A = this chain, B = another copy of it.
């Protein structure tokens, strides 16, 4: 792809995600795909023009309905195609004639069906985009969402869409049901919010690499969560992933198809040939992409990579309110890096606070001092200790505790991460921490994976910066 071509793609994705007007071809009154698309735009209070298209209605959900694309009073920025499979091409041709520049095809039934006829139908979509220059997301996807601007161009079932906050993580996902399902649900559970949610389906035109490239250039995006069944053009992905690395926008990914059963499933899901798993591992490794196998893990690791500076030394200080939690953390961390003893000065500083209770070693067991004012001094002592490249704190408490932790994190150049030892439903303390720059973990396992990912990510960034290739 030339730079000019790439420029056009970025421009079109910009339009797709910030359309001033949207046509919904196949809108309907029922809350199935066509009705949900319209409903989502309305529920999210989309401020642009909405043009439902369906010859059987004069009006849908209070919005004037048009019989076809030709009769629209203006050229919409984005067309959503939610018509029966057989009508897809007719409708697309009509869009092209009208001058529509971008489309999201929700309609399924293409190459994923596995028959020659359906593969040919998908091929025809490719030809169409080349011929007309109209840029497409899909088919067989659930749509795209610009969360910040509340533009939910998607057919997902989303109750309480108004309450979904915008954040710093971009989600680019080949499975629509996963994107608007577990990824969105679990991100909300842990107070992590997305800037964009993009489901790409069969990718006849724009693919995950295109959308990732768009996202890494947006200042509000701090990290990318990606879900792949296949990467169709691995050279293109490598280029984009290296661009992301240079820009300091970490990518954390699930790539399915490790197993033959998973490969079979991907083929019938989005017609993806998943390819050699080892080749993917190598591709991700070369480009600093963290690969994991679980949505919760991917989200928590993306949050740490987005929020914390590098662990500039391979050593860590550990603090907890409980000896048991301290030991658990030490066990996990020592599998990855050093957990060295602190200097005498730090020990003495801690001893002056602990007065014989708990332990001033590393890990430090600070007992009930974790819940008091002096937590600030303890964290400062640990963060200022030269022997530690970062600090992990394991505890759970009040809003006041959270404020002390956030305050300490704001004053340091070192990473400070948190293992939350309380309920994941807690409002006191937890909500504040989740919305702060301190990454919060609920599982020692995942915290370990995140530290490992951060070490690798920053090492490979350094390697390329130093001229590696």
Are A259 and B178 in contact, CB atoms less than 8 angstroms apart?
no
Are B424 and A321 in contact, CB atoms less than 8 angstroms apart?
no
* Bound-complex Cα distance A339 to B334 (A): 36
- A245-272: CB near B (< 8 Å → 1, else 0) gives 0000000001011111110111011100
Set B177, B260, B268, B334: member contacting A359, Cβ < 8 A = B268
Are B361 and A322 in contact, CB atoms less than 8 angstroms apart?
no
- Kindly provide the distance from the CB of A337 to the nearest chain B CB, expressed in whole angstroms: 11
- Kindly provide the distance from the CB of A439 to the nearest chain B CB, expressed in whole angstroms: 17
Are A323 and B269 in contact, CB atoms less than 8 angstroms apart?
yes
**Chain B residues within 8 Å of A442, by CB:** 186, 296
Closest residue of chain B to A419 (Cβ to Cβ) is B182
- A321-350: CB near B (< 8 Å → 1, else 0) gives 111111110111111000100000000000
**Chain B residues within 8 Å of A113, by CB:** 356
Q: Which residues of A contact B (CB under 8 A)?
A: 113, 173-175, 177-178, 181-182, 185-186, 188-189, 227, 229, 254, 256-262, 264-266, 268-270, 293-297, 318, 321-328, 330-335, 339, 356, 358-359, 361-363, 365, 396, 421-426, 442-445
Identical chains in the assembly? 2
Known A261-B363, A334-B262, A443-B294: A269·B326 in contact at CB below 8 Å: yes
- Kindly provide the distance from the CB of A107 to the nearest chain B CB, expressed in whole angstroms: 13
Excluding A261-B331, A265-B326, A295-B444, 8 further A-B contacts by CB distance (< 8 Å) are A175-B323, A178-B328, A182-B421, A182-B422, A189-B424, A257-B327, A260-B334, A294-B445
Are B258 and A322 in contact, CB atoms less than 8 angstroms apart?
no
**A178, A293, A323, A359 — most chain B CB neighbours (10 Å):** A323
